[in-house]
Amino acid sequence: MSNYKVLIFDWDGTLVDSIGRIVESIHVAARSCGLPQVDDTAVKGIIGLALPEAVEVLYPGQVDAARVEAFRRHYGEHYLGLEAQPSMPYPGVTEALSEFREAGYLLAVATGKGRRGLDRVLAGQGWEDLFDITRCADETASKPDPLMIHEILAHCGVRPERALMIGDSVFDLQMAHRAGVDSVAVGYGAQPLHVLQQFEPRLGIDRFSELGSWLRSMAGSEVNAYVG
């Protein structure tokens, strides 16, 4: 096991392949609320934020509280319809998470999803008991505020240098940096690696399996350094 004790995962675009559904649902909600369409790249750029913050970023000065609530309702209805068939984990995710648990890591989720939505998809994957703690945007501060990570660390009794945040958005990496936690940038989700590299992650990956390989190599290096 590497020097890290807690692995903190974003959900959408990191563990499950749901980015396309999020983008589609944002566009549908915008049309339903009479808001102008924005391009897919702009929508991907707000994934990771809580939905009210995301709407404010996409439509600055164009939405009041009532419109945000309508946007949330339309988004939720459309996304829930799409999720009748749950988004699939990325290749290798299910196996790797089990291996991480067996290796002794504590596992956590820090997501921009709401609690009801996360509980639903955890049940859909059969992962209700897989994570030691999960934190959602509607029960704490939205990313990139570091509060989610602070709460996870407090629950696990772990210092920041022993935690690793894995995510696919700039908000994941900003949150990690503000919490004093190392990060891994995921290049197959919402945003490409060249955008995420500006936040100086310890590692950039294009496949989830690369995370386990890196952690094992770190553990091996630490053992070798100790023996030497």
Least confident segment among 129-143, 151-165, 188-202, 214-228: 214-228
Confidence check: pLDDT of 223 > 70: no
- The confidence score (pLDDT) of residue 83 equals 86
- The confidence score (pLDDT) of residue 195 equals 93
How deeply is 188 buried, as exposed, middle or buried, from its count of CB atoms within 10 A (0-12, 13-18, 19+)? middle
Residue range 4-15+88-223, CATH number: 3.40.50.1000
The residues, ordered by sequence, that sit 6+ positions from 223 with a Cβ below 8 Å of its Cβ are none
Q: Please, what's the b/e burial string for 27-36 (b: 16 or more CB within 10 A of its CB; e: otherwise)? A: bbbbeebebe
Both ends of the chain: CA-CA distance in Å?
18
Confidence check: pLDDT of 105 > 70: yes
**Alpha-carbon span 44 to 58, nearest angstrom:** 11
Handedness of CA 49, 210, 149, 194 (dihedral sign): negative
* Domain extents in the chain: 4-15+88-223, 17-81
CA distances from 4 to 30, 122, 205 (A): 41, 24, 18
Report pLDDT digits (tens) over 32-63: 999 999 999 999 999 888 888 999 999 998 88
Q: Cβ(133)–Cβ(156) under 8 Å?
A: yes
Report pLDDT digits (tens) over 123-167: 988 999 999 999 999 999 999 999 999 999 999 999 999 999 999
Full-model pTM: 0.90
Tokens representing 74 are 């339309």
CA distances from 21 to 44, 52, 75 (A): 11, 18, 10
Classify 17-81 by CATH class. mainly alpha
